[in-house]
Protein backbone atom coordinates (compact mmCIF):
# COMPACT_ATOMS: atom_id res chain seq x y z
CA UNK A 1 0.00 0.00 0.00
CA UNK A 2 1.40 3.38 -1.02
CA UNK A 3 2.01 6.21 1.44
CA UNK A 4 -0.82 8.27 -0.09
CA UNK A 5 -3.29 5.40 0.37
CA UNK A 6 -2.14 4.95 3.96
CA UNK A 7 -2.80 8.62 4.61
CA UNK A 8 -6.23 8.30 3.01
CA UNK A 9 -7.13 5.30 5.15
CA UNK A 10 -5.85 7.05 8.26
CA UNK A 11 -7.88 10.17 7.51
CA UNK A 12 -10.99 8.09 6.79
CA UNK A 13 -10.67 6.24 10.09
CA UNK A 14 -9.96 9.47 11.98
CA UNK A 15 -13.01 11.31 10.64
CA UNK A 16 -15.24 8.26 11.05
CA UNK A 17 -14.23 8.09 14.70
CA UNK A 18 -14.85 11.81 15.14
CA UNK A 19 -18.26 11.49 13.47
CA UNK A 20 -19.20 8.75 15.93
CA UNK A 21 -18.01 10.91 18.80
CA UNK A 22 -20.06 13.89 17.58
CA UNK A 23 -23.07 11.59 17.22
CA UNK A 24 -23.08 10.65 20.91
CA UNK A 25 -22.78 14.26 22.06
CA UNK A 26 -25.52 15.47 19.70
CA UNK A 27 -27.89 12.62 20.56
CA UNK A 28 -27.49 13.33 24.27
CA UNK A 29 -28.21 17.04 23.76
CA UNK A 30 -31.32 16.30 21.71
CA UNK A 31 -32.63 13.70 24.15
CA UNK A 32 -31.94 15.95 27.13
CA UNK A 33 -33.70 18.90 25.44
CA UNK A 34 -36.96 16.96 25.21
CA UNK A 35 -36.60 15.31 28.61
CA UNK A 36 -36.09 18.64 30.35
CA UNK A 37 -39.59 19.67 29.32
CA UNK A 38 -41.29 16.37 30.14
CA UNK A 39 -43.98 17.15 32.76
CA UNK A 40 -43.92 13.80 34.57
CA UNK A 41 -41.34 11.70 36.40
CA UNK A 42 -38.49 10.29 34.33
CA UNK A 43 -37.41 8.22 37.33
CA UNK A 44 -39.47 7.12 40.31
CA UNK A 45 -37.74 9.34 42.90
CA UNK A 46 -37.87 12.60 40.96
CA UNK A 47 -41.23 13.55 42.45
CA UNK A 48 -39.97 12.99 45.99
CA UNK A 49 -36.95 15.18 45.20
CA UNK A 50 -39.35 18.00 44.28
CA UNK A 51 -41.13 17.35 47.60
CA UNK A 52 -37.84 17.99 49.40
CA UNK A 53 -37.50 21.30 47.56
CA UNK A 54 -41.05 22.31 48.51
CA UNK A 55 -40.26 21.63 52.18
CA UNK A 56 -37.27 23.97 52.07
CA UNK A 57 -39.22 26.70 50.30
CA UNK A 58 -41.99 26.41 52.89
CA UNK A 59 -39.50 26.76 55.74
CA UNK A 60 -39.62 23.14 56.90
CA UNK A 61 -36.71 20.89 57.84
CA UNK A 62 -35.55 18.03 55.60
CA UNK A 63 -34.19 15.60 58.17
CA UNK A 64 -37.11 14.81 60.45
CA UNK A 65 -38.74 11.82 62.06
CA UNK A 66 -40.17 9.66 59.24
CA UNK A 67 -43.94 9.70 58.88
CA UNK A 68 -46.66 8.74 56.42
CA UNK A 69 -46.41 12.24 54.96
CA UNK A 70 -42.66 12.50 54.47
CA UNK A 71 -39.53 10.35 54.70
CA UNK A 72 -36.17 12.07 54.00
CA UNK A 73 -33.71 10.77 51.44
CA UNK A 74 -30.37 9.42 52.68
CA UNK A 75 -28.39 12.00 50.72
CA UNK A 76 -26.56 15.08 51.93
CA UNK A 77 -28.55 18.25 51.14
CA UNK A 78 -26.61 20.53 48.78
CA UNK A 79 -28.43 19.54 45.57
CA UNK A 80 -31.78 20.12 47.27
CA UNK A 81 -30.75 23.61 48.41
CA UNK A 82 -29.42 24.53 44.95
CA UNK A 83 -32.67 23.25 43.46
CA UNK A 84 -34.72 25.25 45.95
CA UNK A 85 -32.81 28.41 45.03
CA UNK A 86 -33.41 27.92 41.31
CA UNK A 87 -37.03 26.89 41.90
CA UNK A 88 -37.61 30.16 43.70
CA UNK A 89 -36.51 31.97 40.53
CA UNK A 90 -38.17 29.95 37.74
CA UNK A 91 -40.90 28.08 39.61
CA UNK A 92 -41.42 24.76 41.38
CA UNK A 93 -41.37 21.59 39.31
CA UNK A 94 -39.03 19.18 37.57
CA UNK A 95 -37.45 21.77 35.24
CA UNK A 96 -35.18 23.64 37.69
CA UNK A 97 -33.89 20.37 39.18
CA UNK A 98 -33.23 18.85 35.77
CA UNK A 99 -31.57 22.04 34.58
CA UNK A 100 -29.02 21.79 37.39
CA UNK A 101 -28.25 18.19 36.44
CA UNK A 102 -28.12 18.94 32.71
CA UNK A 103 -25.76 21.91 33.11
CA UNK A 104 -23.65 19.85 35.54
CA UNK A 105 -23.39 17.04 32.96
CA UNK A 106 -22.15 19.53 30.36
CA UNK A 107 -19.64 20.75 32.93
CA UNK A 108 -18.45 17.15 33.37
CA UNK A 109 -18.00 16.82 29.60
CA UNK A 110 -15.95 20.02 29.54
CA UNK A 111 -13.75 19.13 32.50
CA UNK A 112 -13.01 15.68 31.06
CA UNK A 113 -12.06 17.37 27.78
CA UNK A 114 -9.94 19.93 29.64
CA UNK A 115 -8.02 17.37 31.69
CA UNK A 116 -7.10 15.32 28.62
CA UNK A 117 -6.34 18.43 26.57
CA UNK A 118 -4.00 19.78 29.27
CA UNK A 119 -2.11 16.48 29.44
CA UNK A 120 -1.90 15.71 25.72
CA UNK A 121 -2.19 19.11 24.01
CA UNK A 122 -4.67 17.38 21.71
CA UNK A 123 -8.18 18.70 21.18
CA UNK A 124 -9.14 15.46 19.45
CA UNK A 125 -8.07 13.28 22.39
CA UNK A 126 -9.96 15.53 24.79
CA UNK A 127 -13.08 15.47 22.63
CA UNK A 128 -12.97 11.68 22.25
CA UNK A 129 -12.69 11.32 26.04
CA UNK A 130 -15.70 13.55 26.73
CA UNK A 131 -17.74 11.91 23.97
CA UNK A 132 -16.97 8.47 25.41
CA UNK A 133 -18.42 9.65 28.70
CA UNK A 134 -21.47 10.98 26.83
CA UNK A 135 -21.81 7.54 25.22
CA UNK A 136 -22.24 6.00 28.68
CA UNK A 137 -25.48 7.96 29.22
CA UNK A 138 -27.72 4.89 28.96
CA UNK A 139 -25.17 2.54 30.52
CA UNK A 140 -25.28 4.66 33.69
CA UNK A 141 -29.06 4.60 33.89
CA UNK A 142 -29.86 7.62 31.66
CA UNK A 143 -29.16 9.71 34.75
CA UNK A 144 -27.18 12.72 33.51
CA UNK A 145 -30.13 15.07 33.13
CA UNK A 146 -32.73 13.98 35.70
CA UNK A 147 -33.72 15.49 39.04
CA UNK A 148 -31.17 13.54 41.07
CA UNK A 149 -27.89 14.43 42.77
CA UNK A 150 -25.38 12.54 40.63
CA UNK A 151 -24.35 14.98 37.89
CA UNK A 152 -23.77 17.84 40.33
CA UNK A 153 -21.83 15.55 42.68
CA UNK A 154 -19.63 14.39 39.79
CA UNK A 155 -19.04 17.92 38.45
CA UNK A 156 -17.79 19.15 41.83
CA UNK A 157 -15.64 16.02 42.21
CA UNK A 158 -13.96 16.31 38.80
CA UNK A 159 -13.46 20.03 39.40
CA UNK A 160 -11.52 19.21 42.53
CA UNK A 161 -9.44 16.61 40.67
CA UNK A 162 -8.59 19.13 37.94
CA UNK A 163 -7.31 21.66 40.46
CA UNK A 164 -5.28 19.08 42.40
CA UNK A 165 -3.60 17.94 39.19
CA UNK A 166 -2.87 21.26 37.49
CA UNK A 167 -2.92 24.05 40.10
CA UNK A 168 -0.31 23.65 42.83
CA UNK A 169 -0.61 26.44 45.40
CA UNK A 170 -2.13 27.02 48.82
CA UNK A 171 -5.11 28.88 47.33
CA UNK A 172 -5.80 26.25 44.70
CA UNK A 173 -5.61 23.41 47.23
CA UNK A 174 -8.04 25.29 49.50
CA UNK A 175 -10.39 25.62 46.52
CA UNK A 176 -9.99 21.90 45.77
CA UNK A 177 -10.86 21.15 49.40
CA UNK A 178 -13.98 23.32 49.12
CA UNK A 179 -15.08 21.51 45.95
CA UNK A 180 -14.51 18.04 47.38
CA UNK A 181 -16.47 19.03 50.49
CA UNK A 182 -19.32 20.38 48.33
CA UNK A 183 -19.25 17.15 46.35
CA UNK A 184 -19.64 15.22 49.62
CA UNK A 185 -22.46 17.56 50.64
CA UNK A 186 -24.16 16.51 47.40
CA UNK A 187 -23.53 12.76 47.70
CA UNK A 188 -21.58 10.82 50.32
CA UNK A 189 -19.72 8.71 47.73
CA UNK A 190 -17.36 11.67 47.29
CA UNK A 191 -15.79 10.84 50.66
CA UNK A 192 -14.76 7.35 49.47
CA UNK A 193 -13.35 8.71 46.22
CA UNK A 194 -11.52 11.58 47.95
CA UNK A 195 -9.40 9.31 50.15
CA UNK A 196 -7.00 8.17 47.37
CA UNK A 197 -6.88 11.80 46.12
CA UNK A 198 -5.85 12.94 49.59
CA UNK A 199 -3.17 10.24 49.59
CA UNK A 200 -1.88 11.59 46.27
CA UNK A 201 -1.68 15.11 47.67
CA UNK A 202 0.30 13.86 50.68
CA UNK A 203 2.73 11.83 48.54
CA UNK A 204 3.39 14.54 45.95
CA UNK A 205 2.71 17.90 47.62
CA UNK A 206 2.90 17.33 51.36
CA UNK A 207 3.30 21.04 52.03
CA UNK A 208 0.00 21.93 50.36
CA UNK A 209 -1.91 18.75 51.22
CA UNK A 210 -2.74 20.25 54.62
CA UNK A 211 -4.72 23.00 52.87
CA UNK A 212 -6.66 20.49 50.78
CA UNK A 213 -7.40 17.94 53.48
CA UNK A 214 -7.85 20.51 56.25
CA UNK A 215 -10.34 22.59 54.24
CA UNK A 216 -12.40 19.55 53.23
CA UNK A 217 -12.42 18.15 56.77
CA UNK A 218 -13.32 21.52 58.32
CA UNK A 219 -16.27 22.11 55.98
CA UNK A 220 -17.62 18.56 56.25
CA UNK A 221 -17.16 18.51 60.02
CA UNK A 222 -18.77 21.91 60.57
CA UNK A 223 -21.69 21.09 58.27
CA UNK A 224 -22.27 17.75 60.00
CA UNK A 225 -22.27 19.36 63.45
CA UNK A 226 -24.57 22.23 62.46
CA UNK A 227 -27.06 20.15 60.46
CA UNK A 228 -27.19 17.46 63.11
CA UNK A 229 -27.84 20.10 65.77
CA UNK A 230 -30.54 21.83 63.72
CA UNK A 231 -32.28 18.56 62.90
CA UNK A 232 -32.12 17.09 66.41
CA UNK A 233 -29.85 14.20 65.44
CA UNK A 234 -31.86 13.06 62.40
CA UNK A 235 -29.18 14.30 59.98
CA UNK A 236 -26.63 11.78 61.25
CA UNK A 237 -29.29 9.09 61.39
CA UNK A 238 -30.24 9.38 57.71
CA UNK A 239 -26.97 10.51 56.13
CA UNK A 240 -24.58 8.21 57.99
CA UNK A 241 -26.36 5.51 60.00
CA UNK A 242 -29.09 4.42 57.58
CA UNK A 243 -26.87 4.73 54.52
CA UNK A 244 -24.58 2.07 56.02
CA UNK A 245 -27.38 -0.42 56.68
CA UNK A 246 -27.77 -1.75 53.14
CA UNK A 247 -27.16 -5.45 52.62
CA UNK A 248 -24.29 -6.58 50.40
CA UNK A 249 -25.15 -8.18 47.06
CA UNK A 250 -22.54 -10.89 46.60
CA UNK A 251 -23.49 -11.27 42.94
CA UNK A 252 -22.14 -7.77 42.29
CA UNK A 253 -18.64 -8.63 43.50
CA UNK A 254 -17.84 -9.99 40.02
CA UNK A 255 -20.83 -8.82 37.95
CA UNK A 256 -19.79 -5.18 38.34
CA UNK A 257 -16.43 -5.79 36.69
CA UNK A 258 -17.57 -8.18 33.96
CA UNK A 259 -20.92 -6.70 32.92
CA UNK A 260 -20.62 -3.01 33.86
CA UNK A 261 -16.95 -2.35 33.05
CA UNK A 262 -15.26 -4.97 30.86
CA UNK A 263 -18.17 -5.89 28.60
CA UNK A 264 -19.35 -2.41 27.52
CA UNK A 265 -15.98 -0.60 27.76
CA UNK A 266 -13.46 -3.34 27.01
CA UNK A 267 -11.43 -1.36 24.46
CA UNK A 268 -11.39 1.81 26.58
CA UNK A 269 -10.46 -0.21 29.66
CA UNK A 270 -7.53 -1.92 27.90
CA UNK A 271 -6.26 1.44 26.60
CA UNK A 272 -6.56 2.86 30.12
CA UNK A 273 -4.52 0.01 31.57
CA UNK A 274 -1.98 0.50 28.78
CA UNK A 275 -1.60 4.17 29.73
CA UNK A 276 -1.01 3.39 33.40
CA UNK A 277 1.58 0.75 32.52
CA UNK A 278 3.43 3.17 30.23
CA UNK A 279 3.48 5.87 32.92
CA UNK A 280 4.95 3.34 35.34
CA UNK A 281 7.57 2.18 32.82
CA UNK A 282 8.77 5.70 31.97
CA UNK A 283 8.89 6.58 35.66
CA UNK A 284 6.46 9.48 35.39
CA UNK A 285 5.71 9.19 39.10
CA UNK A 286 3.27 12.05 39.54
CA UNK A 287 1.17 11.15 36.51
CA UNK A 288 1.21 7.48 37.37
CA UNK A 289 0.22 8.09 41.00
CA UNK A 290 -2.51 10.60 40.15
CA UNK A 291 -4.29 8.56 37.50
CA UNK A 292 -3.81 5.28 39.33
CA UNK A 293 -5.24 6.69 42.55
CA UNK A 294 -8.20 8.48 40.96
CA UNK A 295 -8.98 5.27 39.08
CA UNK A 296 -8.89 3.33 42.34
CA UNK A 297 -11.06 5.97 43.99
CA UNK A 298 -13.65 6.37 41.25
CA UNK A 299 -13.94 2.71 40.25
CA UNK A 300 -13.83 1.74 43.92
CA UNK A 301 -16.54 4.25 44.83
CA UNK A 302 -18.78 2.96 42.03
CA UNK A 303 -18.10 -0.66 42.96
CA UNK A 304 -18.87 -0.19 46.64
CA UNK A 305 -22.06 1.72 45.78
CA UNK A 306 -23.14 -1.04 43.37
CA UNK A 307 -22.49 -3.76 45.93
CA UNK A 308 -25.32 -2.81 48.26
CA UNK A 309 -29.05 -3.26 47.79
CA UNK A 310 -30.68 -0.29 46.11
CA UNK A 311 -27.60 0.57 44.08
CA UNK A 312 -28.52 1.22 40.44
CA UNK A 313 -26.58 1.96 37.24
CA UNK A 314 -26.25 5.67 38.13
CA UNK A 315 -23.47 4.78 40.58
CA UNK A 316 -21.33 3.85 37.57
CA UNK A 317 -20.94 7.49 36.53
CA UNK A 318 -17.66 8.11 38.46
CA UNK A 319 -16.18 4.87 37.10
CA UNK A 320 -17.10 5.77 33.52
CA UNK A 321 -15.75 9.29 33.96
CA UNK A 322 -12.35 8.01 35.12
CA UNK A 323 -12.14 5.44 32.31
CA UNK A 324 -13.07 8.14 29.77
CA UNK A 325 -10.29 10.42 31.01
CA UNK A 326 -7.59 7.76 30.99
CA UNK A 327 -8.85 6.40 27.66
CA UNK A 328 -8.23 9.83 26.12
CA UNK A 329 -4.72 9.92 27.58
CA UNK A 330 -4.01 6.32 26.53
CA UNK A 331 -5.26 6.85 22.99
CA UNK A 332 -2.89 9.78 22.58
CA UNK A 333 0.03 7.86 24.10
CA UNK A 334 -0.63 4.85 21.85
CA UNK A 335 -0.45 7.04 18.74
CA UNK A 336 2.83 8.51 19.97
How far apart CA 261 and CA 41 sit, in angstroms, is 28
How far apart CA 35 and CA 98 sit, in angstroms, is 9
Q: Which residues are within 8 A (CB) of 129 and not within 5 positions of it... i.e. 6 or more apart? A: 112, 113, 115, 116, 324, 325, 327, 328, 329, 331
What does the mean pLDDT of the chain come to? 95
What does the pLDDT look like over 152-197, one tens digit per residue?
999 999 999 999 999 999 999 999 999 999 999 999 999 999 999 9
What does the pLDDT look like over 40-65, one tens digit per residue?
999 999 999 999 999 999 999 999 99
Strand-pair partners of 308: 248
Q: Which has the minimum average pLDDT: 1-15, 36-50, 116-130?
A: 1-15
Instruction: Delimit the domains of the chain by residue range.
Output: 11-335
Give the global pTM.
Answer: 0.96
pLDDT exceeding 70 applies to what percent of the chain?
A: 100
Residue 333's pLDDT band (cuts 50, 70, 90): confident
Mean pLDDT score, 94-116: 98
How far apart CA 43 and CA 264 sit, in angstroms, is 23
pLDDT higher than 80, residue 283: no
Complete DSSP assignment for 73-107 = -SS-SHHHHHHHHHHHHH-SSHHHHHHHHHHHHHH
Amino acid sequence: MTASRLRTVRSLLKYTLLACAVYYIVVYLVVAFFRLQYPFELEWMEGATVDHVIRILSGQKIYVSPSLDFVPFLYTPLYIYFSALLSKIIGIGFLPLRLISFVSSLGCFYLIFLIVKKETDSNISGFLASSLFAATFRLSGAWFDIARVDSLFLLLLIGSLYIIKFKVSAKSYILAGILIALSFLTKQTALIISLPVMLYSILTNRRYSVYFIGTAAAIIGANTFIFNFIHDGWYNYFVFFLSLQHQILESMLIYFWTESILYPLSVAFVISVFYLIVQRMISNRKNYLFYLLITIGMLGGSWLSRLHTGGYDNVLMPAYASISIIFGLGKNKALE
